[in-house]
Structure 1
C-alpha cells in the first residue's frame, strides 16, 4: 500500500471542484478548509491511508491515541459538486508527495473533475496587519476566472519554491490539463503561528466565487476550536514537518506549503 482511498459514503459526484487545505506555514489552508467543511456541514466520503504518513500518533483530550489522517469531504452547493481535501499532515518526503498528488489526480479524473484550488501561506518575518493574497496557476484562464479585489497574480520574485502538496498538485495537474490555482496569503513565518486572519482573506474569495454563504460571525468561535486542536497537534508532530529547512522567520519572504 502506498496511498489507499477508503470509501466511507457513496455519493454521486460529477465534474467537481477540489479545494485543498493541508498543514503548512501558518496552517492557512487547513484553517480555511476546515472552517468551510464545518460551516457547510460537508460529508466525509473518503479516508486516505498510507505507510508514508508520519510514524506517530496524536494523544487527544481523552488521553487516547489518534492516527494522523487525510480525508476527502463532499458538498453540493449552488448546483456545483465541491470536494475538500483536509487533514492533519502532509506526506513526509518528496517521493511520497508526488505519489500522493498523482493518486489524488487519478481519483479526481475518475469523476471528471474540472479544476483544483490549493491554499497555503507566504511566511513573513513579522505578523502582517493586513495580509495580502496572491495567486499562481498552471493556466492563465483560471487566473482570469478568479480575479478578485486585493488578489494579485504578480507573484514572481515574491515567493520562492512552493513546497508540498499546495504546489506540486497544481504542477502535476497541469500535465493532465486540469486547470488549477494556488491561493497564497501572507502570514507570520513561525512554525507554531496560526494564520487566522490570512485564512479569512482567502475564505472571502471562495465565499464570493462559489456563493457559499459562509457564516463569518461564527468564524472566530470555530477558528478558536480549530486553533486549540491544531496547537496541540503541531507540538506533537513538529518533527515531521514537510520541509527540513530552517523555518525560523528571516528578513526574506519565503513560502513553504
Structure 2
C-alpha cells in the first residue's frame, strides 16, 4: 500500500456502490464514468497517487487535477482515471484501491471497461464475482459464457472474488479507438440496474 496512496476524506457512510473506470479499449470506462460524474454532479473527495503512474496531470480551464480521482454522491462513489495502468502494476493498484475501500464496508464494486470485438452493435457484456450477483445483471447485459478479461478491471474483479466483495464487470463492445457510443451503451445498462435517471 505504500506505493499506492489514497489521499481522500472517508466515504460518507457504508453500503456504497463504487463505480470504477480506467482507460482501456475504446476508453469506454473513463468516458462513461466522467459523463456520469459530470451529469449527476458528484463531488470530488480525493485522489490516488503512485510512483508507478505516468507523470501526467489533467488540466481543465487552466486548473490542474490529479489523473486518478475519487468522487461521491449519495449511495454512489466513483474512481476515474485519465492514465492507463501498466499490466505489471495492475495487482498493486487494484490491491491498494481495495484495501482503502474495504475500510468503509462498501456494498459492491462495478468496473466499466471495453472489450474489442470489431462489431458494430455496441453490445454490453457482463461478468460478476459470483453466481448470486450475476443474476442481478443477466437481464441487462449479455453474460460471457467463457473466456478471459485482462488489465486493471480484471485485477479489481479478482480482488473482489478473493475478498468476498460483490463485483460486477460491464464490458462495452468496442474497437481500439475512443468510442463514446460504447460508453453510452454501458451507461444505459447502468441506468437500468441502478436507476440513475440519466
TM over 0.5: yes
Secondary structure of the 2:47 match is strand
Q: Which runs of 5+ in 2 are unaligned?
A: none
Q: Is the 8 A contact 1:135 1:155 kept in 2?
A: no
**Alpha carbons of structure 1 residues 194 and 14: separation in structure 2 relative to 1, 3 Å:** same
- Does structure 1 retain, via aligned residues, the 8 Å contact 2:68–2:80? yes
Match of 1:104 in 2: 97
Which SS does the other structure have where 1:170 is aligned? Answer: helix
Bigger shift: residues 85-94 or 110-119: 85-94
Q: Can you list the C-alpha shifts for 1:96-139, whole angstroms capped at 9, x where unaligned?
A: 21111111111111110111111111113x4x332111111210
Judge conservation of contact 1:57–1:67 (CA < 8 Å) in 2: no
1:26-175 correspondence runs (5 A):
26-54=26-54, 56-57=55-56, 69-76=67-74, 81-94=75-88, 96-124=89-117, 126=118, 128-149=119-140, 151-157=141-147, 161-175=148-162
In the alignment, the residues of structure 2 paired with residue 66 and residue 93 of structure 1 have an alpha-carbon distance, to the nearest angstrom, of 26
| Contact 1:136 1:155 (8 Å CA) reproduced | no
Distance 1:105 1:21 in 2: 14
SS in 2 for 1:171: helix
Q: Which ranges in structure 1 are unaligned for 5 or more consecutive residues?
A: 215-257
- Shift of residue 199, structure 1, vs aligned partner: 1.0
Aligned partners of 2:19 and 2:110 also within 8 Å: yes
How many Å apart are 1:51 and its aligned residue?
A: 0.6
Change (3 A) 1:36 1:61: closer
Structure exhibiting the larger radius of gyration computed from Cα positions: 1
**Normalising by structure 2, what TM-score?**
0.90
Cα deviation digits, residues 132-178 of structure 1 (max 9, x gap): 111112101111012334x2113414xxx422211110011111100
Please give the alpha-carbon distance, in whole angstroms, between the structure 1 residues aligned to 2:71 and 2:63.
23
Conserved in 2, the CA contact under 8 Å of 1:131 and 1:186?
Answer: yes
Q: Structure 1 or 2: larger strand share?
A: 2
Offset at 1:10? 5.4
Q: Which 4+ residue blocks in structure 1 deviate beyond 4 angstroms?
A: 58-62, 64-68
Distance 1:59 1:46 in 2: 14
Tell me how many residue pairs correspond in the alignment.
197
Give the C-alpha shift of residue 93 in structure 1.
4.0
Over residues 6-57 of structure 1, what are the superposed CA-to-partner deviations in whole Å (9 max), with x where a residue is unaligned?
12x5552211111111100000111111110001100111111111101x33
Equivalent residue, structure 1, for 2:167: 180
**Correspondence 1:7-26 to 2 at 5 A:** 7=8, 9=9, 12-26=12-26
